[in-house]
Every structure is written in structure tokens, then in C-alpha cells.
Amino acid sequence: MNETISQDAPMACMDDFSSWILYEDENILVLDKPGWLVCHPSKNGPWSSLVGAAKEYLQLDTVHLASRLDRETSGVVLLAKHKKAASYWQKGIEFKKVRRKYLAILEGELPAGNTVSTFLGKDPDSEIYVKQRVTGNSRKAKSAETIFTPICSKNGYTFCSVATLTGRKHQIRIHAQWIDHCLVGEKLYGRDERIYLEFCKSGWQQEWANILGMSRQALHGRHLRDMETGVCFSAPLPEDFLLFLESEMKLSIQEIEECVSVSDELNFKDNG
């Protein structure tokens, strides 16, 4: 099946949207996308997607999605107001001149950093059309490389920084599953994809909370950085991350702040 949005999915509003703005000028609009909102327009109207809401806010017929995040991934998204700005940022991402860094919470305690380099392709064994998997090298397969750097491992979970050296669909989520440390809250690349199917059909069910830990995958786009100019946009840690780190990993607010600070230092030390 294709990815669909449950009819009871929440809608954005102008007040919400304004609070997501990280930066705006005559060329771009940078937003902190919440984990419950899709990027691309949907049949449920303009306020059901980030792009649709941005067009309403800007009163433009067209905005250009220069960077995107998966449906349940929160964090920095950059929209361009015209084609020239879109071309600059899209080419920057394509040619690795603009890089992303993520924060993630993984199941299990990852003892050391892990660089995962594989090929990815469509999963022929799944009825879910969008699902990918690690595969061998072939004409249709695409190379993917992800770097997982643990910041804190405690109480059966790992809070980590993640860098992608390629930009493949669902790359981080697939690689997390490949190293047996699925993302907390993962429905599609987790323990049972039937949860994802049911979620698309009927929405979130509270009984999944004890199975998944969070109502969405614990992946957050922390930074979007132009490596040539040094311009960096950053999105604060979302509330559901904070709650999980406090309640399940038993980290204090000070410890969480220190972890995020370590992650930020990693972002500015390397080019990954």
C-alpha cells in the first residue's frame, strides 16, 4: 500500500505555524516541523501539510521544498520562496555542500560509534509500497551511508547523534534496524510493520505505547548547515523527546542539555 494519512490526523493553524518559524528572509523560510505533520501537500487541505500551511502563511501559489523530513520526523525544514533560492539550497544538498545532523533515540545500548554503509532498494516482501530494505548492489539499488554516534546509553536506550553522508529514502530508519537498534517509536522499520498498516488506516492506538515507547519515530532534524558559508539552522529538542529522556532513560534536564551540547559540538567539529 502507499503511504496515507488517517482522516483524524491533526491540522495545523496559523498560530501554530508562526511558532514553528526559525528564520525568514526574502528568499527562504526555515521551520521546525512537528513530528505529526507531513511535508508534502495532501488531499486533506492546505493546513494538513507543511507546504500547504506555508503557502497560506506566505500567500504564495508556489513554495519550493528545498529539504524535507519523513512524516513522523521532527526538525529543521527549509522552504524557498522562489526558484533561484530553491536551486541554491537543493543543489547544496545534492552535492553535499549543505549537511544535516539528527538526534535520535535508539532501542538498546549502542556501545560505540557505528558507520553503516549498504545498498538500499525496495522491499519486495512487504505490501507497503514505500518500504525499503538493505539489499545487494544492483542496477536499481542505491548506496547509503549513515554514522551513528552515541551520546548517552542508559536504561536500555541510546541517545545519539546521526549524520547521513547520502540522502536516501528512510535511510536512518533502515540502518538503525539493520544494526539491531531500531528507533524508539518506529512503526515501519521496527518490530512489526502491521502496526504501521493499522496506523495508516485508523490512527494512533494507545495500546501501542508500551510496545513502541513513543507515538512517532524518535528522530529529530537538529541542524541544517551550509558548509561553505557556515550558516546553520537549528531546531530545539521537541517535548516528546524530553519526556522520553526523562521518564525512560532517567536523565535530568541538566544531563539532557549536556548531551545536546555534545551533539552540537560534534556538528561543528566535522564535515559529516
> Could you tell me the maximum CA-CA distance found in the chain, to the nearest angstrom?
49
Q: Could you say which of 32, 70, 123, 240 is catalytic?
A: 70
Q: How far apart are the first and last CA of the chain?
A: 34
Cβ within 8 Å of residue 158, ≥6 positions away: 105, 106, 108, 109, 110, 150, 152, 181
Spatial distance between the Cα atoms of 119 and 127, rounded to a whole number of angstroms: 21
Three-class secondary structure of residue 147 per DSSP: strand
Q: Is 264 a catalytic residue?
A: no
Active site residues: 70
